[in-house]
Structure 1
Amino acid sequence: MKLIKKKKKTDGNVTEKSKLSPWKVLVVDDEPDIHTVTRMAFEGVEFEGKSLQTLHAMSSVEAQEILKKEADIALALIDIVMETDDAGLKLVDFIRNEMNNSLIRLIIRTGQPGAAPEKEVVERYDINDYKDKTELTNKKLYTTIRLALKSYSDLNTLNTSNQGLQSILEIAKDLYQPQQLDNHIYDLVLSQIIDLCNLSSSNSFINSGMIVTSSEEGVKVQTRIGKIAALNKNTDMQTCLEGIFKKNGNTSIPSNMTLIPFEKNEERTSFICLENAQYLSQVELNLIHIMANECAIARQLAAANKKIVTLNEYLKADNVRMRAELDVTRQLQQMVLPTETELKNIADLDIAAFMEPAEEVGGDYYDVLQYDDRILCGIGGVTGHGLESGVLTLMVQTAVRCLLESGIQDATQFLNILNRTIYKNVQRMNIDKNLTLSFLDYQTLPSSQTEVKGVLQLTGQHEEILIARHGGKVERIDTLDLGFPVGWVADITNFVSQRKVQLQSGDVVVLYTDGITEAFNADKIQYGIERLCEVISHHWQCSAEEIKKAIITDVQKHIGEQKVFDDITLLVIKQKNIASNKQ
């Protein structure tokens, strides 16, 4: 997502850094000299382009008043012995338990370590560091402060990402209503984007923006919020926007305005326009990007729905009309699946996929996402079928994409945040749904000139993962101990683990849902895992597409004329050899 901004003029008295909100550091100590020394030590100190603002309290009571007024304090340096011998420790308890503030970093800085021994304080209280005042020279104080601010910044980024993800998923049900009108979609999306911009307290408050589109009919403001709502009365701004849509290289926009392009096709081009958004973090920009993409998808759904509404005018039977509405949801599921072009652009892997829902909307999930040097393959199955299951798979797809964009690398953290998000949405929807879900995180390993190697990190609980090695021998990897059904309980951290598997040139990985192994024939005999392994073993030398076709053909042969009761999903991943990789 490219940002278009006006090049700013340099002002000798005002720098870009000075416009960023400073890091707030609270010093709590009853010795005036400590405040003076600390203030001097902080002069000129910057971290991540932002200065430090020192807040001072001579007692825990004063500190509590400051904490109630200042919600975004990053760090507090707290003395223990002040108005009482344990005033500082009571302040820590107030912050963590009464204010329920887990983000602020707390450092105990005491001149009487014997009064509150370090081991006892660290074990009993939720603090982040314990320092004797005599050991905190200016240099050590700087190191301590910088490490604390780095920790606060990382936690704040994670918290912002998590809140944004939850916020996006909460709006999904409203956004993806098939009968949604364009103007309502734009209203929902702009309102949500402005909320996302204000998740982090480190930026100036953003409350003004609009969504603008350009088509043959001209430039049109679809929706607007705040001061920018007066756009049509501002001729200069109107001319400026028209110039941008016409790719006029000489056109510039005001320095406090950010344009984010999010939709472009033969009929129209669309922009999100925000005021005072110059200092958004990368996490916030990623969330905005995801929300903008959801807007484009929702509009496609709305356009498809118009055609279906026209068709429904001629349908009299209720069951036919219901099937048409379910088809809309099925189309939406298909829209977010990886395209053939995406799969072909993955350099070291040959990938083929197949998904065929049962009569109703499918409850199976699969995706292949390439992000930087990572390739993430996922597969899962929701309990049951129908609209609720279909919506749940869309939530999973959006959540996974958002977590990738947020840069979360740790597999346990990745899966647990995803689970919490889906669990809360399942509770809100009041449905009895969960899903098995496995992820394969692939990375290429350094290799020789004759072969390509890679490593898979496996996470999450689903069906067995099948790997065909050279010669056709099939390894079966049980995923039971790698995770827990997603959306069933609030926290699955203790159930999640990983396993790494190395791939050699020509190795084949097969992921599937139980619609294959549990497919019945007319004699009520299941297809079974053994028969699936046999087909893979006989065709391991073929391309991924040929292996996929062989499996699906054999499954369909087994089913025969019998009705299919479950979704069938298959993902075949083959490690390319050096010859095919060069072609």
Structure 2
Amino acid sequence: MSDFFIDIIDDDGADQGQEAEVVSGSSSTWKIAIIDDEESIHQVTRLALSSMVILGRPIEFLSAYSAKEGFELLSSDDEIAVVLLDVVMENPEAGLQLARRIRQELGNHNTQIILRTGQPGYAPEEVVITEYEINDYKTKSELTRTKLFSTIYTSLRTYQHLVAMEQSKLGLQKIIDSSASLFQERSIREFSEGALLQINALFNIHSEGIFCISSGPLAGDRDMIVAPLEAEQHRIVAATDIFKSYFGKAIDDIDDITTKQTLHRTLASKEHQFTNKYICLFLNTPSQWEGAIFIKGDIDEERLDYELLSVFAMNVSLGLENTKFFTQLTQMAYYDMLTQFYTRHGVIDRCLNTAVKNGEIFSVCILDIDYFHEVTESLGFEYGNKVLVSFANRIQSILPADSVFARLHSDVFAVVVFDDKPLDMEFIAKQCAEAIHVDGDKLRFGVSVGVSQFLPEDNLSGEELLRQAEIALKLAKEVRRGGGQAFTPSLATESRGRIQLLGELREALASHELVMYLQPKVSLIEEGTVVGFEALVRWPHKEKGMIPPNDFVPVAERSGLYYELDMYVVEACCKILSEHSELTRIAFNLSANSLNRPELVDDLENLLARYGVTHDAIVMEITENSMAKGGIVIDTLERLQSKGWLIHLDDFGTGYSSLSYLLDMPLNAIKIDRSFLLQLHDSDNAAVLLKGIISICKDLDKKVIVEGVETDSQKAFAMDAGADVAQGYLFYKPMKLEEAVDLMKKQS
């Protein structure tokens, strides 16, 4: 450490009782502890030094009369600079024992310890002086006023250097921590506080100060925002004690006129300001992000190294530039640029984890705009962004003001509501579904809601709570789209079960564990004749037994595994047909989603060619939901029909029923759902409707297949109505391949 701020006092001045020259403008005192069991020593020492001002500060004496009292004194006051310590008090080594406790127990290595003894022949060994960091050793007879002053002055200067070095270390550590803290919201603030601490430590100014910077890059630093600022305004981001009330405010909100005017003048002139009452350093980063450091106090202009201060300001500017980029990265990580809501990472780290730690009761509500993708597909992403902003404003208006909002991704939002009452999910969904206005357009969307409530005894993390709400949302979208679903433990169990089942299904497809059961289709014209089969996939699980399609097919649909499953079934059917000539025709069900795959037609054709199967030997059954998708589905079906594929419409009457399908779609047959037959017994209208449908299909030259025939009366009705083929338990249940082959051999 340079001595540019130290004024050495000579012994002559001290001998004449003159005061040492004031270097610092601080009014604080040097605390010197006299620890001695002789009252006269206390009195003589006070008398010798009472009028002196050393290094700009007067002396304040503290007294203790035993090693025990001395330890208590130093334990309660960490600003004692020098200890005048008697060696022999309660016992011959009381002073040495106290010195050890000061260094080892209190961890105090700055306070200067001067041993004094009235026994000239008694002196501590060198190893003791070294181990206990004894700074000086004098006999009481040696400590004349001049020698006492010289000893005290040297000790105070050493103490001052040690404290300055410690402060410098703390300041540097704060700046280093700030630079390393890439994702800490207060990195700008901590950097600025470190800079203020550095000024006092490096330049020995010992004054109060504030640090301000332009407001723009701090948009995401929410804790600093006391009031909205204009873009050109500057914000106080760090302040010492007397300026604490200014933290987060604009310069114009500062009450002190001198401070306010000086900051404005510095920023306007872009130059440092120096007076004997204050210093104001101008900061200018390479990206023209401006700031200033205002230091208030009695400044000794003659002893201040202005060039060094300028270099310091330049280094602070460069460090500030780096910290600015860290802050911007933090904003990108924690805040959504479109809505200014938290991101997923932000709401977990800044809200949920904190609320969990504090034991608060709250709910996590996740909202998803139903079919939002249709907006971006038809009107573009820019328009879609406007919709999202308008929707963000809507949820802010209907949920409590103290809620915390986040945009998790795309059109999915999360809201943390601090209330011990369960949320009214249906009310939220209904309010969110009210019309919003975008560019003069009036739009309405359905909104699905998933909710998870946290109680302190739950012992969950923020991430786990969010995941619970997402599980509830997923179920809401599946079975209660446009409504709400609360999380329950059973949902988590079911979700884990589905994930496990999906993994096992992937393995089952890869190892060809799934098998085909075949259910015969019987002609109603040539009664009893089997005219084909429907392939029904089954999964004989090694541990769980036979898993029905209703358990694993929906899992495949939701996970995107539907196409692999469909191709698995088609290939299995082709393999059966190629190996068993007795089976003349097999139908398979195709997922509605698979019809959207551009590679479907080529993949199907390749399978037929690989196994040598003709188009009239295999039938594709599709559902009404497939027809409702239109577009590429219609083109795909027309391509398939042109190549000779037979296409049947399955489960007619259960989906988006429209007789126009019978006119527009390339269909060879209509398969009427079992629900019509089930209602025949209870409703005459059902009979009339079913006869009408069959009649229309026959007039359009479409074959009619009736499924779910379980009674003789149902069979008779289907025959009378003119249906061509029937399928159901009255005739045959689904059977293994071997049984189907035997059946056809007997029929032939």
Q: TM-score, normalised by structure 2?
A: 0.33
The structure number with the bigger radius of gyration is 2
Whose relative contact order is higher, 1 or 2, with alpha carbons under 8 Å and at least 6 apart? 1
Q: TM-score, normalised by structure 1?
A: 0.41
User: Normalized per residue, which structure has more helix?
Assistant: 2
